[in-house]
């Protein structure tokens, strides 16, 4: 059953325009809880090649295994789930290596603050991957999403963040008005 998606036309247009662009893209999406960030992202990635990963309060190795499971499903590469990876560097690199030069892949890391809690090196790792053009494989569209606004503003958007200056755009998702 497909439910009707209401509102967020501006945000969807921004995401679609960035997706159609020729470059790798990094867009942080943040806002307080229950404003529709995850639903916006899920609506946007519907019918696109995308790895959607929801961070949680769990050890890094369990989160990495789940990421690999999601990547295997998204890329229709069942053996990817069985691939032995030691860390996020391996997990993301192996996933991206499955693409050819013409393919696009959206990587969504939702509730990113929980993932970083277990793997504090992850923002620096993503910085390196962005700076290296994702290893020259395909076109990567990275979405980092979080509901802890302080974390997102300081650890993702802030001047001292390894990811500072690398975002293509950003979306601060606010609640709908009464109207």
The confidence band for 86, taking pLDDT boundaries of 50, 70 and 90, is very high
Domain assignment present for 125: yes
CATH code where residue 54 lies: 3.40.50.300
Q: How many domains does the chain have?
A: 1
Distance CA 37, CA 43 (A): 10
Residue-number span of the structural domain to which 48 is assigned: 24-172
79: in domain: yes
34-71, pLDDT tens digit by residue? 899 999 999 999 999 999 999 999 999 999 999 999 99
End-to-end CA distance of the chain: 27
What's the maximum distance between 2 C-alpha atoms anywhere in the chain? Answer: 51
Instruction: For residue 94, tell me if it sits in a domain.
Output: yes
Rounded Cα distance between 161 and 164, Å, is: 5
DSSP assignment of 81-138, as one string?
Answer: GG----SHHHHHHHHHTTS-TT-EEEEEEETHHHHHHH-TTHHHHHHHHHHTGGGG-S
- Check: CB of residue 58 under 8 Å from CB of residue 78: no
Q: Model pTM?
A: 0.94
């Amino acid at each position: 059953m497909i439910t009707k998606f209401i509102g967020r036309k501006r945000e969807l247009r921004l995401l679609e325009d960035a997706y159609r662009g020729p470059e790798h893209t990094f867009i942080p999406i943040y806002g307080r809880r229950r404003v529709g960030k995850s639903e916006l992202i899920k609506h946007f990635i519907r019918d696109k090649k995308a790895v959607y990963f929801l961070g949680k309060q769990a050890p890094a190795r369990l989160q990495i295994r789940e990421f690999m499971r999601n990547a295997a499903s998204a890329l229709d590469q069942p053996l990817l789930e069985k691939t032995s990876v030691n860390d996020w560097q391996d997990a993301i690199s192996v996933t991206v290596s499955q693409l050819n030069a013409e393919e696009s892949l959206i990587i969504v890391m939702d509730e990113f603050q929980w993932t970083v809690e277990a793997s504090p090196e992850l923002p620096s790792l993503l910085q390196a991957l962005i700076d290296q053009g994702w290893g020259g494989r395909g076109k990567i569209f990275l979405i980092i999403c979080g509901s802890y606004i302080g974390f997102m503003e300081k650890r993702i958007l802030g001047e001292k963040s390894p990811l500072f200056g690398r975002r293509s755009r950003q979306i601060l998702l606010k609640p709908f008005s009464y109207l």
